Amino acid sequence: DMERRMLAFVFVGILLVLSTIIGIALAILLSKAAPKYNPHGCPAEYGFNPVLIVSLDGFRADYLERGLTPNIQALADMGVYAPFMKPSYPSITFPNHYTIVTGTYPETHGIIANSFYDPKFKKKFSYTKPIAREGRWWGAQPIWNTVNSQGGKSATYFWPGSGADIDGTHPNYWFPYNGSVSFEDRVDQVLDWVAMDYSERPSFISLYFNEPDHTGHDKGPESPEVNDQLMHVDGMIQRLTQGLMDQGHAGCVNIIIIADHGMATSGDGTSFKMTDYIANISDAAYTYPGAFSRINPKNKDPEVKFGMLEKLVCQEAMMRAYDREGLPTRFHFSNNPRIEDIVMDLEPGYSMDINTSDWSLNGQHGYDNYATVMNALFLAVGPAFQEALEVEPFQNIELYNLMCHLAGVDPAPNNGTQGSLDHILKSPPPRDPLTEENKPPTAEFPSKEELSNRLGISGCPGDLQVSEDWIYSLDVSEALQSELEQYHLPWGIPHSGDLPADLNLLHHGDYVTGYSSTLRMPLWTSFTISRSAQEVSVSEWSSDPRLTKDNTPSCASYDALKNVSMGPLFPHGHSKNSSLERVPYLVSNAVPMTSQVSMKWQELLVTKLNSWVMNYGGVNVVAGPIFDNNADSHPDDFTGIGETPEVPSDLFVVMTRCKTHASPKMCPPSQLDAQAFIYPLEQRVPNCMEPAEYMLMFSSKVRDVELATGLDLYPNLEVHDRVRLLVRIHDTLWE
């Protein structure tokens, strides 16, 4: 019996391998037999060019490398292709499909998962239930409504959200979801829409296939069955392009082919039991198990939530737990009451169940959108797109603005960045540069008579009784100010827009500060370094004589803060002149820091930055506080701040280097690279992470920093160079 079973197992394995080989051979033969798609030329009488977005649910970006999808590959080769597109967090089907058509994060549009509870409606949303067709669940404006409201027509085939009466309307042409409708019928309907008369034809069309996601969950992303589905959807793309050629419309349609997320291998032994950590979890909380697991305590006392968190953190290397407001800013998953109080962050492939770990899907998604296996497909081909162009990866919130441009409509407010995908267009629209701002005044060094009065203005232990030589380094000539700005602010002074910051510039040999009289602390500090930090003794804090009694902080006011002390924003170890090592301990360089963030600050801005300076040469750094206590990713109103320093919610860092030159200042703009970080001042229940793991988890896009601070960075760069740095994603740290 055992021998027969083994022979049968081997036989089945051989059959699976043979079927895959035959499938690959057939796919290659079919691709060679089919006429090459030619997206050029469109009949003059056809009129406008529709935009067609096709979603292949769960098509992981690296599936393309398997050689099973020659038709998709051919379109990628002839059009615009990105190695991957980042989903938005959580990397789940309904949230991401609706993000793609609104340009908004799930926390903004409200579809935070495939199922969730709304405390205002006191009802549960489920994508499989009729309640999902109620428009009140769906926030933001989907592109079909954008198009319709501006006189156009739209069509969707099974796109998530299109079956709901959002703002009382639907696409002009749509179908309620029916999974039994063949893929062929869906493609043929799209071809019929494209062939409509000018007056009836939609300018926006979407098409959805639920594969390879469905099979990926069931059999796993590495399975032969998924390979079969890759060939199946590739055949549907061939059917689509062949149909367009047969119609004579191949040069008329702008096609975007995407996925909503990737897929991770899962299976037996990859599930954690909630009851192993919180025995009474079913009685104490409402739970959403799975790869994207959440917990909502029934008792809303914050101590109950933190008590649960303490039982969850640092238990498993593959598992982290956050309270909603403590999630990394880059997730953009805090500012919605539908988000549960506790969110689990699991390594790809893992999941959580309530009280059993005996069963799991063979493929899972919903993880950190920076995970490689969550990367999604992106390519575009058509008359509006560049040809044979590979572009760097981007996040899917950027697609809505692009599609609105292609459809000839103005976008509704969204989280994307205008112009972020202009480089993939043959004829991008003009973009306005940043509005010019007046340069902030420089704080004046006092006269000799006034200097003695200001040496003790902040009442600090390091205050001078009489002037010392180093204090006169703060008396900077206009010529030297200009030199320091060019060196430490090579792309201009950050714009502060409408922020009521009341800024003054403070110049030092090692850094330049934008000091806020409103906050009584730096709004930002910028410095360029080209050598590693040195071991320097810590000095006592002292008054800055360029400040006055109306805008200086006092050391006593910091002493009154609980669990917070003064921390140097510019790290003193980066001082180049040993005779000026007390300068970083002027109160004008102080921001409130907890011991927790102070240690992380040292790891990032000294230890890690040292290694990057050794690898790359010069690195420019802009750092400062963030005031976002409601976690909405926008600055709080700080107009009512008194003499006591306002404690920031976070600290930010933006680092910029040159890929080809040791000096950031001398770098061609196209060769600039940037990575950013947003560190919470304190996490009451921190997860156990190694320094590099923490840095990546709390990294961000530069645009995230701009939104959270109200600043505009790189103001002197051309629009396209600036935007490129703002939206660039680093899902790994610099080497």
Label residue 644 by pLDDT band (50, 70, 90). confident
As given in the structure block, the two tokens for residue 280 are: 């009474």
pLDDT of residue 31: 47
Residue 562 burial by CB count (10 A; 0-12/13-18/19+): exposed, middle or buried?
exposed
Mean residue pLDDT of the chain comes to 94
Averaged over 705-709, what is the pLDDT? 98
Q: Each residue of 570-590: pLDDT tens digit?
A: 999 998 888 798 999 999 999
> 271-360 belongs to which CATH class?
alpha beta
Whole-number Å distance between alpha carbons of 617 and 27: 49
pLDDT of residue 12: 45
Whole-number Å distance between alpha carbons of 417 and 672: 19
Averaged over 592-609, what is the pLDDT? 96
- From 641, 100, 620, select the one nearest 399 (Cα to Cα): 100
Q: Each residue of 342-374: pLDDT tens digit?
A: 999 999 999 999 887 566 799 999 999 999 999
Q: Each residue of 277-299: pLDDT tens digit?
A: 999 999 999 999 999 999 999 99
β-partners of residue 658 are 672
Which residue bears the tokens 């003054």? 504
Q: Are 100 and 399 in contact (CB under 8 A)?
A: yes
Averaged over 469-484, what is the pLDDT? 97
Q: Each residue of 405-416: pLDDT tens digit?
A: 999 999 999 999
Label residue 25 by pLDDT band (50, 70, 90). low
Averaged over 491-495, what is the pLDDT? 98
- Residue 236 predicted with pLDDT over 50: yes
Q: What is the dotted CATH code of the domain comprising 19-265+372-424?
A: 3.40.720.10
- From 722, 693, 471, select the one nearest 588 (Cα to Cα): 471
β-partners of residue 116 are 125
- Residue 531 predicted with pLDDT over 60: yes
Whole-number Å distance between alpha carbons of 309 and 303: 10
- From 153, 151, 121, select the one nearest 138 (Cα to Cα): 121
Q: Each residue of 119-172: pLDDT tens digit?
A: 999 999 999 999 999 999 999 999 999 999 999 999 999 999 999 999 999 999
Domain boundary assignment for the chain: 19-265+372-424, 271-360, 448-727
- Residue 641 predicted with pLDDT over 90: no
Label residue 30 by pLDDT band (50, 70, 90). very low
- Residue 450 predicted with pLDDT over 80: yes
Q: Are 417 and 396 in contact (CB under 8 A)?
A: no
Chain centroid, CA 706 distance in Å: 13
- Residue 565 predicted with pLDDT over 50: yes
Q: What is the pTM of this model?
A: 0.94
Into which CATH architecture does domain 448-727 fall? 3-Layer(aba) Sandwich (3.40)
Please indicate whether residue 594 is annotated as part of the active site.
Answer: no
Residues 677-709 as b/e (b if ≥16 CB within 10 A, e otherwise) read: bbbbbbbebbbebeeeebbbbbbbbbbbbbbbb
Classify 390 in phi/psi space as left (phi over 0), alpha (psi -120 to 50) or beta.
beta
Percent of the chain with pLDDT over 90: 89
Label residue 273 by pLDDT band (50, 70, 90). very high
Residue tagged active-site, from 20, 93, 552, 656:
93
